[in-house]
Structure formats: structure tokens, C-alpha cells
Amino acid sequence: MSDYALTTVQFEKLGGIKLKLVMVNQQIDLFAGAYAMQRFENGLRANSIRVDQTAVLNLYRFCELNDINLIQRIADQNPFKIGEIEALSSFCGYTRHTGDPVDPGWYAARMRGAKAFINYLWLFYQDRCKRDLESLQTSQILYERMITGFRTYAKAPFKPYRKDKVGLSPELQAKFIAIIDPADGNDLNPWKTSKVRWRNYILLILLMLGGNRKGETLLLKLNHFQLTGRRKYYDILKVVDVVNYPRMEAPSVKTYGRQIDLHDDLAELIEHYITNVRKQFVGWQKTSYLLVSYRDGLPLSLQTPNAILNELIKKHPDFQGLLSPHRLRNTFHDLLNIALDRKFKNQSALNRMTLKSPIQEAAGGWARNSRMPERYAKGSIQTKVAEMQVAIQQQAINPDVWIEDVMDNQQ
């Protein structure tokens, strides 16, 4: 089996741009590399090229597993048959290591990327083959038949089982807050310098207690914050200019814009970071983004929040598999769901759901009548189920105890 991977290549003559390219057996693949450069010259951003190359990598793995010599097949103008496209469609629908269904958007990106790369190879070899008119016409007919097959599976509905992720348990929430406390004497904290501890604390606390997405948090600028006056808050803007984001991959805002209100204590912590800590980063004047890198003072890369949490997990392995930027967003919605249940506890179940939904939708930046609040609050719902199960079991064993009393004790 060949060794396939993505590797980062820096192009000094292109202004130091870094691109992710397919590597086969420790060597850059010439075809995938040439394709990446063609896409770059056509104006694609580095993160879009990474998605392209990931799709090519997935195609290479599929071809090897199915004994398909991709380059030779295309050089011979021998198209993928409909059965092979169907097999590729199935391969694109699942993760390689776990076998879990992928997100529909990721399935579409894999299929779209595979088709585009095959199209690139086909035209490359078609232009370089000396053929008579009849041969070229035959090649074009075969090509159109193959592309029709790809279109068929691109349009086919792909609705995998969605595996809902849950937020941190109450015990892990408390431990997480204790770990990220930026105090100098906190031995639980995995980061060494005070300024990095403070930056990471602000980043992670906004993810967990603001419910932001990772990209939304990285795109926060200083002028998005109102930290004085009676009402303190920050803005998440849907329409933001990320064209000039000075990193290989630009974050994005995938939800509606919204305002996040801040408690006075949290506003004070953010203000301390901005006025006292942020200025300790070399080159902090280069940008108005809230969160900056200690290496160059520019805004954080899209992968930095994950790297930060990986450092935490390395020191505290009980968070393994349970912690990511998105899990912190799930945790926020668990906490919100619990708070809303308490607020509307005297309402009927139907009224409570009606009253909660608009608040949850606004907090998450989702459309009206979205199913997302139910998915994101999965952890708090599971906790309620567990409490009810225990209450039912206790009443069954001890019939003299009313189930309402058991539930009250658990509160």
C-alpha cells in the first residue's frame, strides 16, 4: 500500500504562500501539485486548494483499494464506468478511520473535487494525444458519459445519520474552567507564559460562554467590543471582509450575525486582556483582531484553537475525544438549555418549548424554526433522561418515595 498524506509546501517565489499538497510515498505528487498550481493561478485561496487536494487524496486512496491505475486510465482516455463512480460515491460517504458517515457538505466536496481533478487530467492528456477527428469525437463522447455519471451521484440525496456531539459534563466543565485559569500559580494550566495563558483563556471562555463558532471568534476585532457603559456586549458580524486575512486559511461566519451580552466580570477580564496583555505580543499593532499570535502579532490561524486544546488534552488526557472548539459551543447550548428550563419551569412543556426556541435560535445565530437547538443541547437532554431513569429506578425499588421527591432532590 502506498503512503498518502497532505504536506505543507511554502513557495518563496510566490510571496511565501503555503499550500497543502498531496504527498505519495514521501514525495510530492506531480499531477496533484500541477493541479494545485493551476488552481492557485486561477485565483483560488489556499484553504480552497487544501479542500481540492484532500479530495484528490481521497480519490487516490479509492483507486488503490480498487486496483485502478488512475493516471494510466486517463492517459488511455478510458473513462470511469458508472459502477466505479457508484463505488467512489460510497467511498466518499464515510470516514476512513471510524467508518462514520460524513457530513453531506463534505461528501459533496469529495465528489466535486474528484470530478474536477479527473476533468483536469482528461483534458491534459486529450490535448497531448495525436488523434484524428474520429478519435477525438469518441474521446469526447466517453468523457461526457463519465461526467454524466458524476452529475448523477452529485445530485443524489445524501442523508447520513447525524451523530450529535454533546458538550462537556458538569464535572469536566468545572475542571476545564480550573485548568484555563490564567493565574501564574495555576499548575493545571499547560501554557507557559502569562500572556499566552491570558490569550488562550479569553479565546476559550468566549467559545464556551459566548457560544461562538471558532471562525467567528478568530474574526473578532477590537471595535466589535463595547466594554464600558450600562450594557456590555460584542458583535459577531455576518458580512466580514476576510479577503485579506493574513493566514493560509481564512475563518468564516456560518451563522447569522448577532450581539453577545457580557456580564460585568467577563467584560472586565476581556478589557484587562486588551489593555494590558495584548500589547505584550510582539507586533500587536499590525492588526485590530482581538486574538494575536505570539510569533508575529498577526491574527491566529484557523488551526490554532484546535492546537491549543490539543496541548490541554495532552496534559489532561481525561478530555481525550471530548474536547474541541465545537464541543465548547455545544457546552454553551447545554448551559443555555438548562438555564431556560429553570426560567420557564412553571410553564407547560409545550409553552416552555415555544418560549425557549426563539432564544436558543438567536443565541446560536440560526434561522427561525431551526432544529439546531435540539441537536446542540443534546448533552443537557441526555442528563435529564439520566435523572429521570434514576428516579424511576429508585421509585420502583422503594415505592414509598414519590418520583417528584426524587427529582427535587436531584435539583
- The pTM for the full model equals 0.65
Quick: pLDDT tens for 336-378: 888 888 888 888 877 877 888 877 777 777 777 776 766 666 6
Q: Which range, 16-25, 59-68, 148-157, is most confident? A: 59-68
Task: Give the CATH H-level superfamily of domain 170-327.
Answer: Intergrase catalytic core (1.10.443.10)
Please, are residues 18 and 45 in contact by the beta-carbon 8 Å criterion?
Answer: no
For the chain, the distance separating the N- and C-terminal CA atoms, rounded to the nearest angstrom, is: 56
Give the C-alpha distances (Å, rounded to integers) separating 213 from 236, 277, 282, 368, 409: 10, 23, 27, 19, 35
Residue 57's Cβ-count burial label (10 Å; 0-12, 13-18, 19+) is buried
Residue 114's Cβ-count burial label (10 Å; 0-12, 13-18, 19+) is buried
How far is it, in rounded angstroms, from Cα 281 to Cα 274? 11
Return the C-alpha cell found at 341.
Answer: 428550563
Question: 259 - beta bridge partners?
Answer: 235
DSSP-assigned letters across all residues of 97-127: TT-PBPPHHHHHHHHHHHHHHHHHHHHHHHH
Share of the chain above pLDDT 90, in %: 45
Return the C-alpha cell found at 127.
Answer: 490535448
Domain ranges of the chain: 4-155, 170-327, 329-410
DSSP-assigned letters across all residues of 270-291: HHHIIIIIGGGSTTGGG--BSS
Q: What is the mean pLDDT of residues 192-217?
A: 93
How far is it, in rounded angstroms, from Cα 122 to Cα 139? 9
pLDDT band at 406 (very low <50, low <70, confident <90, very high): very low
Share of the chain above pLDDT 70, in %: 84
- The larger pLDDT score, comparing residue 201 to residue 131, is at 201
